[in-house]
Chain A
């Protein structure tokens, strides 16, 4: 019994971490209808960037390149354009972009302390998110969802290549200062081993999820976002700036990826295999539905727990390692019974 509880709790806690990655998918899917396969690559990129910055600071050539691009963008933001009546010089945007460009030059080659590295990574991830929205998704708007999906597979390759081009491919450890030991009082009181790291990770994930839920429900942008999710055309008609919303969502997805990357990276080491962890979010989404934050959480818990239990109780019978596919099979079987997901509504194609 104790053992069962231990496995169950461990599974649930790692399930929370799956939920965290799944959340990134849900955010983007809700706002733009894109199933972003590259969420895993974002997680990898975020974790690797933080570690890399802590180890040896920003790499010269790429930072230089980014700075040049940012300066160019800043320039175009204020350059008066011919013909464009409404386009006034946007000094604020130029200042932000220029500021980031100049600041980035100062961190080249200097190992950064943890929190500074995290902050820099956050700015970088937001940039990546916004750039993705601009360069990848905007030209593909109005294409069938499956085309967008394949484009994000392309994006996955690009980001994985970029991450390793910037930081190399070695496995690295990441210490975020949370010990990975059994929690003493649970040990003494109930004789159950639960890692403090898992608990803290789950806590952080829970806070993030709560924050996002608040953001969606209470802020003006969040409400606009939900309107967009419900009906793009209508949202445009009432004057919600779709493009700005999309950029915000991609930035938020970048942020979620950063948190997930730090937690997973600290847990399993920062390495290419992180992208596979992120793939686990897919069955989570199938269970929970692509559009529901609650679904992502519940789905994550179910997948996490059932996967661990299966590994422990069924695994030995078939030679172990079933974690690699068990989640998918659970999701598949589930789909056969309820194709609309746990929280989705059944709908019949209109003709």
Chain B
């Protein structure tokens, strides 16, 4: 009975339309935010913040972006990392070339630049679908990385396109410790996740899902195909672009275009497949899984093999990682296409009855 809805009557549509209509969900979210904003900074050490929590948040944001496009609007993209790269390099250039530019604004502009590029590469989606479109987004992936490498202007004439992000200073306050960066990223990610949740539960999101589920019927009810699809590309790329800017500024500092390669795009795709296609929560769960799993594997694969009396050759764990990710993707697609988010929901439904199943 831990998760009981009974007795919570919603007496108006306003109550029913709340972001989290079930009280336990509201409590859980509040608790979670309290932990994230207060408890984590108190207890987490530098390694956790720098190597796990900050990238986790940034990749969650990118996964959220991809999920808007693929999970909600049904347009498969293999160019996520390319859009992140646009965000990172655009933010860098705004910072570099316009002295007065506040850092937050340059991140937003980075996102907007990515949105523009997203719209450009989303244009083919008006005529093609499915894996044809996937191939088109591959073009974005390769073209963007090539352009950023080949035109030295983007990286201020540094060698092989490497850029080094400046410091983060907002209203005279410098965010340089991991805790400060973590809190800043957390705030941005929470706000953007909230905005995404709001979009997907209102007209915008319904139009995306309608186009995803049955495009002909969507047009017939009056949904404008071009506007809806391109908006999905724009919003999605905006999220990815901001994630890219944060990746450069708040996470690794020095980035090169090659860092945003096809492999990264695939990893973000895997995050949403494992976490849950068409689920905001799933983007976070998937990002957590894809970030934590290799760390776990690196820490335990060798000792475990040793215990069995086997010596793993160097590089073996990364091969194992590829194999396990691949197998998991197939497993989730076959067994639970809605990913970890759906498993969580099932658990919730069980808890609703627990401990007295009817």
| A/B contact in complex, CB under 8 angstroms | yes
What 0/1 readout, one digit per residue, does chain A (272-303) give for beta carbons within 8 Å of chain B? 00000001001101100000000000000000
The residue from A154, A318, A331 contacting B330, defined by CB atoms under 8 A apart: A154
Residue B328 at the A interface, CB < 8 A? yes
Identify the closest chain B residue to A147 (Cβ). B333
B214 to chain A, nearest CB (A): 9
CB pair A157–B266 under 8 Å, yes or no, is yes
Q: How far is the CA of A159 from the CA of B327 in the complex (A)?
A: 10
| A contact face: mostly helix, strand, loop, or mixed | helix
CB pair B143–A328 under 8 Å, yes or no, is yes
CB pair B322–A147 under 8 Å, yes or no, is no
Q: How far is the CA of A350 from the CA of B316 in the complex (A)?
A: 51
Decide yes or no: A335 and B124 within 8 Å by CB, A146-B76, A349-B216 being known contacts: yes
Residues of A within 8 A of B217 (CB): 351
Residue A113 at the B interface, CB < 8 A? no
Decide yes or no: A332 and B319 within 8 Å by CB, A319-B151, A321-B150 being known contacts: no
B133 to chain A, nearest CB (A): 9
B256 to chain A, nearest CB (A): 15
Interface hub of B127, B322, B324 (most chain A Cβ within 10 A):
B322
CB pair A169–B315 under 8 Å, yes or no, is yes
CB pair B142–A325 under 8 Å, yes or no, is yes
CB pair B322–A158 under 8 Å, yes or no, is yes
Residue A86 at the B interface, CB < 8 A? no
CB pair A165–B139 under 8 Å, yes or no, is no
Q: How far is the CA of A321 from the CA of B123 in the complex (A)?
A: 25
Stretch at the interface among A10-18, A136-144, A250-258: A136-144
Q: How far is the CA of A325 from the CA of B217 in the complex (A)?
A: 35
CB pair A161–B321 under 8 Å, yes or no, is yes
A239 to chain B, nearest CB (A): 28
The residue from B138, B145, B146 contacting A279, defined by CB atoms under 8 A apart: B138
Residues of B within 8 A of A139 (CB): 334-335
What 0/1 readout, one digit per residue, does chain B (293-330) give for beta carbons within 8 Å of chain A? 00000000000000000000101100111111111111
What 0/1 readout, one digit per residue, does chain B (48-82) give for beta carbons within 8 Å of chain A? 00000000000000000000000000001000000
Residue B231 at the A interface, CB < 8 A? no
The residue from B136, B216, B313, B329 contacting A351, defined by CB atoms under 8 A apart: B216
Q: How far is the CA of A143 from the CA of B327 in the complex (A)?
A: 18
CB pair B132–A339 under 8 Å, yes or no, is yes
CB pair A158–B327 under 8 Å, yes or no, is yes
Interface contacts (Cβ under 8 Å), in number, total 130
Residues of B within 8 A of A351 (CB): 216-217
B22 to chain A, nearest CB (A): 30
Decide yes or no: A154 and B327 within 8 Å by CB, A332-B124, A339-B127 being known contacts: yes
Interface hub of A160, A282, A321 (most chain B Cβ within 10 A):
A282
Query: Could you say which interface size class chain A belongs to?
Result: 35 or more
What 0/1 readout, one digit per residue, does chain B (107-141) give for beta carbons within 8 Å of chain A? 00000000000000001100110111011101100
Decide yes or no: A159 and B135 within 8 Å by CB, A147-B333, A335-B124, A339-B127 being known contacts: no
The residue from B139, B269, B316, B324 contacting A332, defined by CB atoms under 8 A apart: B139
CB pair A164–B139 under 8 Å, yes or no, is no
Q: Chain A residues in contact with chain B, CB under 8 A?
A: 35, 135-136, 139-140, 143, 145-147, 149-151, 153-162, 164-165, 168-169, 279, 282-283, 285-286, 318-322, 324-325, 328-329, 331-332, 335-336, 339, 349, 351
Known contacts A150-B333, A153-B269, A318-B150, then 14 further A-B pairs from the complex at CB < 8 Å, ordered by chain A residue: A135-B330, A143-B337, A145-B130, A154-B333, A161-B319, A162-B319, A168-B315, A321-B146, A324-B146, A325-B139, A332-B136, A335-B128, A335-B132, A336-B123
Give me the 7 closest cross-chain CB pairs, A-B, nearest first: A154-B329, A158-B326, A161-B322, A328-B139, A157-B326, A161-B323, A325-B142
